[in-house]
Structure 1
């Protein structure tokens, strides 16, 4: 299976918006605090035009099948790095999962991070999203911190 990767363009926006809704559907079972539809996670047009971000897509036979982005972020003041790459919007169409496409996207984003002088990479994932966690671990990510939450009664 020959999958190619490239930087996303504004022409990809309609498909990227579909991917965003797929990601939201996939993540909704892990997060009861996601508002009912309609909801979006990203300003995709802004992200595509941001010089401090890189949106990558994977294509198979002319069809977009996966995406992800990296963006430069400033860490908490007490950490040992001045900036890091945050990875997000990691999405692969269900019928293409398990074929190493996410790994290809991650490698493109890692290369971009290094070109930007960013040597720390972070992402967030729901703790019960075991397939995603396994995919990230395969690319070298390690569990680092657990974010906890509590909803107080009104």
Structure 2
């Protein structure tokens, strides 16, 4: 898609990022019966934007922010080969722009930042039933790694 600019998010983007967060929650709510009723938040977006160990990026067209994602440096487990890795999250694309490779470009931008931090392991989480998101991440090179299982005890 032409004329898309990928850039680091700023505090001026927060009103749009808050809307994106609610869009993510709304999309994920059918996949997770454990979510509390609205209003809820997943992120402290201001803290993420200001944190040196996090890169929040947005995509914009004609000064309209249409997508977001973040990469966060996470301490690795003591038994893993890598000491730290990058966790991707906050992936959102406005509905009218989906299916155009924007998430792939956001992912590439975040992977480039990870390389600048000398980190080569990248992870993310996605609901098992969110097949459209899984397909998008697989197009970006991700592979399924582990399944988290849960049950409700009555």
Deviation string 1:122-145 (CA, Å, 9 cap, x unpaired) is 000001101100000001100000
- For 2:129 and 2:39, the matched residues in 1 are separated by 24
1:62 paired residue number? 63
- For 1:64 and 1:29, the matched residues in 2 are separated by 26
- For 1:73 and 1:146, the matched residues in 2 are separated by 19
Summarize the alignment of residues 118-133 of structure 1 with structure 2, pairs less than 5 Å apart: 118-133=119-134
Q: Alignment RMSD, CA only?
A: 0.6
TM-score, with structure 2 as normaliser: 0.98
1:78 paired residue number? 79
2:16 paired residue number? 15
Gaps of 5+ in 2: none
1:134 paired residue number? 135
- Structure 1 runs (4+) greater than 3 angstroms displaced: none
Q: What is the number of equivalent residue pairs in this alignment?
A: 153
TM-score, with structure 1 as normaliser: 0.98
- For 1:89 and 1:150, the matched residues in 2 are separated by 26
Q: CA deviation at 1:151?
A: 1.2
Deviation string 1:40-95 (CA, Å, 9 cap, x unpaired) is 00000000010000000000111000000000001211111000000000000111
